[in-house]
Chain A
Amino acid sequence: GQQVMQIPQYQHVQEGEDFTTYCNSSTTLSNIQWYKQRPGGHPVFLIQLVKSGEVKKQKRLTFQFGEAKKNSSLHITATQTTDVGTYFCAGKVDYGGSQGNLIFGKGTKLSVKP
């Protein structure tokens, strides 16, 4: 079935280092969403990307959607301990008008050492 692959599964960084997680799909996505789940918490929506090649920034976070709409990335500059959590990408397959559900990647668990 349709899958959204996310790498790496885990990332341990020193506070102040940068962090990137990548999301890949074998088929074209109509859009991609990113969520963050803090330890013991629930996923919280961060952003949605819709257009080919789109780049959006939220403070230290930069989100990109690939030109082919098959991949995406989240980059965090100068990580802080508050960035700890699991970051999920979630994509919707473009069925050309019919409905589709959101397919989540397995997430990248980020730990930050102070």
Chain B
Amino acid sequence: DSGVTQTPKHLITATGQRVTLRCSPRSGDLSVYWYQQSLDQGLQFLIHYYNGEERAKGNILERFSAQQFPDLHSELNLSSLELGDSALYFCASSVDPTGRGYEQYFGPGTRLTVT
């Protein structure tokens, strides 16, 4: 158990819909990262938040947005869903404010299926 929690574990929705994925970091970690993992693909970095502020953006679509709240939990919002958005979405946390040099602790992931 990494200490990072993600809800829900599974999500099935239809194209065009909007969903929200939730992540709670490990106690004491101020950084939260979101990744997308498609079948047979690596981990695509989406976005990094540190203590409520966006720190870095990766290959995140305009239809996707995220935020980190004062209690440090984070939400990833996916809208106008397409079939290709079906993937495993991981949240990770670390103590690192820069995203450069500390290990990341991954949550169990949310498996999103768009039908």
A interface residues, Cβ below 8 angstroms from B = 6, 30-31, 33, 35, 41-45, 48, 50, 88, 90, 92, 99-107
Please name 13 further chain A to chain B contacts, defined as beta carbons within 8 Å, in addition to the given A44-B106, A100-B99, A104-B45, sorted by A numbering: A6-B42, A42-B106, A42-B109, A45-B104, A48-B102, A88-B42, A88-B43, A99-B98, A101-B48, A101-B56, A102-B104, A104-B42, A107-B42
Q: How many residues of B contact A (CB 8 A)?
A: 27
B58 contact set on A, CB distance < 8 A: 101
Q: List 12 A-B contacts (CB under 8 A).
A: A31-B100, A33-B103, A42-B106, A42-B108, A43-B90, A43-B92, A45-B104, A88-B42, A100-B56, A100-B100, A102-B99, A105-B42
B105 contact set on A, CB distance < 8 A: 45
